[in-house]
Chain A
Amino acid sequence: MDTLESIRDRLLAWFPGAQISLVANPSPSAQHSLLLDSVHGREIATRLRDDPALRFDTCSNVTGIDWPEKESVETVKIKVPGVAGAPDKEVEQKVKRIQPGMLEVVYHLYSVALRQGPLILRLRTGNRADAVTLPSLTPVWRSCEFQEREVFDLFGVIFEGHPDLRRILMWDEFKGHPMRKDYIEPDDYEWEPTPHNEVLAKAKKHYRTVAPVSAPAAEKGNAG
């Protein structure tokens, strides 16, 4: 397989406006990946599939990763001018830095025809709350259909252009996305609202609101 750098350079030549960067992987596996911008994601994927020299005709694995907002504290040395002619002082100051959270979707591409791979693509959302839309790659590779549904279900990434974006493993009425790092498990999985709850709420309207008559004195005596 061509090196990842050469693939990136070719893609940049084909798509001048695109932002494609290399994400290095320091582990011994050395599986580096390409980070694409979400605007050009599908065009680039189509080109990777159709180009005769690359022909990544199958997308083996699609998965999401949750990166919550990260707070890191860094110590920075700052020079403070000395008071009354004294030499400048170096003071250590702690600076809080907030790395914004995001959701990441990773695609592992292989070429069955040319027997090469993996080529790893990454797409990142703007944040974890409202900008969670990414282009769906299901029109490019059919194998993404169920796997993107799973990422939608468990991570909450919305795939634009997906033909049938529904929950797949959790039930339709489920709220939340369990694979997110900040997901809190419910105390009781079995609880579900029943019609009885609504009936009970209606019935409560007819309950007497008058305060009960104070207990008779004889009872007080018993209690003592």
Chain B
Amino acid sequence: MNAIQPGSFSLADSRSAPSAARLRSVHDPFHGDLLEVSMGPHHPSTHGVFRMIATLDGETVVRLKPVFGYLHRNHEKLGENTSYLASMPYTDRLDYLASMTNNWAYALSVEKLAGLTVPERAEYLRIILAEMTRLLNHTCLAGFLLQDCGCSGTPLMYAFREREKILDLFESLSGSRMMCNYQRFGGCRVDASGAWLEAAKSLVAGYGQFLDEYEQLLTGNEILMARTQGIGLLSAELAVSAGVTGPMLRASGVAHDLRKVDGYGLYPRFNFRVPLGDHGDVYDRYMVRMLEMRESLSILQQALREIPSGPIMDPKAKLRGFRPKAGEAYGRIEGPKGEIGFFLISDGSPNPYRYRVRAPSFVNLTILEDLCLGHTVADAVIILGSIDIVLGEVDR
């Protein structure tokens, strides 16, 4: 057996001659150079076809340019070439984890444009479905974030198990798990039966227990804390200036929730709190979402208890031959990822003259580079995970 000499390397194998391979000195000519790494577009950590061109000094990110558009199909042009109603199923495909809130944001904008009102039962149904969407989105996000941290399998599978329960409810109501196409201008497409509401009640009753279990597994977890605390700090000033919205803004300590600020729908009737973060790091973004789910459960309990009976469509609303008068409207709601808004211009024809989607993931991505600078590549992955993007919405 050859003893390993300093500066040389040999296989401890009796058959082989001493190896000619040498360990390279640290002071090699490449030391100190920057390295450009292209992560994606086909990389499991980028949540879809998304590319980050990271410039690294050793393992530290010194520049990071996001590249996207791989899923671009010019959603806005499609919207301009079809009637108002025909765009409704397309909105499902924006953020495909949250089709109910996409539908609602679009319906709200058209209602503003055409001056339609929504019956009370439909408003309750919208709130119930939007809060369920928030539950499933945040549950999935926690699973994906842990997957990004390298905790492969368990949290994501637990999250998907609960998500399927909500999607089953969506399917029994709208006919589709994810592409719900449920809201209409001035109401909803189909009414929820008593049995459906009972099933929703039992789901809500059991969800708290799942959250307890999930939090016991994750929230106090030492590895999760070590990986996420102090990573990707976002100051409140930058967050507001960069138009960051949703849980990410609130994790930076800015009390801005459109359910409270705009009070759209019937949200002012409901009693709920808005959780805020202290530091604006990845852990706070995770924690704010966990707390938000508890508040969503509280809203769901109130809504399912108080939902009145009655019509679900505005009698003035008409689906066929719908032509709003000339004008424009911008409507926005608090989606699970942030402010989702639709800007519509009507010229009196059956198609919108301009149809614009303000996607929360797209605007939240603006500050990705600022968050990643000075962190390692592995941290850049979880920072991207904590922003919570869906490429269907970023690329449109």
Contacts and interface: CB of A to CB of B under 8 A. Distances in A.
B291 interface: no
Contacts of B358: 60-61, 63, 108
B112 A28 contact: yes
A63 B243 contact: no
B241 A61 contact: no
Contacts of A27: 112-115, 324-329, 346
Contacts of B240: 57-58, 112-113
Contacts of A112: 240, 254, 256
A129 interface: no
A20 interface: no
A176 B356 CA distance: 19
Q: Which of B113, B345, B356, B395 has the most C-beta atoms of chain A within 10 angstroms of its own C-beta? A: B356
B339 interface: yes
B72 A169 contact: yes
The number of chain B residues touching the other chain, given as a range, is 35 or more
Interface string A109-148: 0001101001010000000000000000000011101110
B365 interface: yes
Interface in B338-352: 339, 341, 343, 345-346
Contacts of B362: 146-147
A65 interface: yes
A148 to B, nearest CB: 11
A179 B75 CA distance: 10
Contacts of B366: 142-143, 145-146
Contacts of B74: 154, 178-179
Nearest to B356: A63
B341 A29 contact: no
A25 B242 contact: no
A212 interface: no
Nearest to B367: A142
A57 B77 CA distance: 30
B267 interface: no
Contact of A142 (B238, B254, B356): B238
A147 B326 contact: no
B112 A141 contact: no
A216 interface: no
A59 interface: yes
A191 interface: no
Interface string B311-335: 0000000000000111111111000
A171 interface: yes
A57 B76 CA distance: 27
B241 A58 contact: yes
B74 to A, nearest CB: 6
A26 interface: yes
A179 B353 CA distance: 11
B79 to A, nearest CB: 11
Interface string A54-75: 0001111101010000000000
B261 interface: yes
A31 interface: yes
A168 interface: yes
B337 interface: no
B76 A60 contact: no
Contacts of A57: 240-241
Interface string B63-78: 0000011001010110
B82 to A, nearest CB: 15
A106 interface: yes
B242 A65 contact: no
28 contacts: A26-B325, A27-B112, A27-B113, A27-B325, A29-B112, A29-B113, A29-B327, A29-B329, A29-B330, A29-B331, A57-B240, A58-B241, A58-B243, A60-B341, A60-B358, A63-B358, A65-B354, A108-B358, A112-B256, A118-B330, A141-B242, A143-B363, A145-B366, A146-B362, A168-B68, A169-B395, A178-B74, A179-B76
- 3 smallest CB-CB distances across A and B, nearest first, come from A27-B327, A143-B243, A28-B115
Interface of B: 68-69, 72, 74, 76-77, 112-115, 238, 240-245, 254, 256, 261, 324-332, 339, 341, 343, 345-346, 353-354, 356, 358, 362-363, 365-367, 395-396
Given A27-B328, A112-B254, 6 more contacts: A25-B329, A31-B330, A60-B245, A106-B343, A142-B242, A154-B76
